[in-house]
């Protein structure tokens, strides 16, 4: 017997498919910026914070010239593969493309990204970290995190979540060493 209706709580409205809260799942947005530290949107440093990885959403976002999403993201279903980002962008006029990372280059507005959703066990606060697949290091980190959870669930059962500590580490790239984002898995 259920104690209350919290498990079944749903505030969606039938037929209101366009309702999106800020284009990301609800929660405080995490970022690992050029200053090489984990922060929230108001600049509070979160290095060392321990969180639980609750989920990873895979999304396809179309960006506008104002650096904001154009409409809600397309959220991929379980097991659905990302569509070819390059092929999608080739169907969009170059006038709608955005400045690339290298000066004088352009990049298409459609971008595949992972959105990791974390929870703070102490406060039940929710954190989200959007990460484009074009950022190779973060794509590898997300893949390794999800692979580790999948393996542990095969061993211990479906109710396993990763406990992580937000951290940074040195990693080699084409330009030498760089400090990058990482989380350390603490518990299976």
Mean pLDDT, the chain, rounded, equals 82
pLDDT tens track for 79-100: 899 999 999 999 999 999 999 8
pLDDT at 15: 56
Asked if pLDDT for residue 45 goes beyond 50, the answer is yes
For residue 179, the enclosing domain spans 13-187
User: Structure pTM?
Assistant: 0.78
Q: Could you tell me if residue 3 is inside a domain?
A: no
Concatenating the DSSP letter of every residue in 33-53 gives: -TTSSEEETT--B-TT-EEEE
* In-domain check, residue 4: no
In 3-state terms, what secondary structure has residue 148? helix
Whether 7 maps to a domain, the answer reads no
pLDDT at 13 over 60: no
Mean pLDDT of 14-28: 60
Report the percentage of the chain scoring pLDDT > 70.
Answer: 77
Q: How many domains does the chain have?
A: 1
User: pLDDT per residue over 170-188, tens digit each?
Assistant: 666 665 555 555 555 544 4
């Amino acid at each position: 017997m259920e104690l209350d209706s919290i498990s079944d709580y749903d505030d969606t409205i039938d037929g209101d498919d366009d309702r999106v809260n800020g284009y990301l799942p609800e929660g405080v947005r995490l970022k690992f910026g050029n200053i090489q530290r984990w922060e929230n949107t108001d600049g509070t440093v979160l290095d060392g914070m321990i969180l639980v990885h609750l989920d990873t959403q895979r999304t396809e976002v179309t960006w506008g010239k104002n650096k904001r999403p154009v409409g809600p993201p397309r959220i991929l279903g379980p097991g659905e593969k990302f569509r070819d980002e390059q092929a999608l962008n080739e169907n969009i006029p170059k006038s709608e493309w955005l400045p690339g990372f290298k000066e004088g280059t352009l990049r298409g507005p459609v971008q595949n990204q992972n959105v990791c959703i974390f929870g703070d066990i102490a406060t039940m606060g929710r954190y989200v970290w959007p990460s484009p697949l074009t950022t190779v290091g973060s794509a590898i980190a997300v893949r390794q995190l999800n692979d580790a959870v999948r393996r542990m669930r095969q061993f211990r059962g479906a109710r396993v979540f990763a406990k992580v500590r937000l951290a940074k580490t040195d990693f080699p790239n084409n330009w030498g060493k760089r400090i990058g984002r990482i989380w350390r898995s603490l518990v299976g």
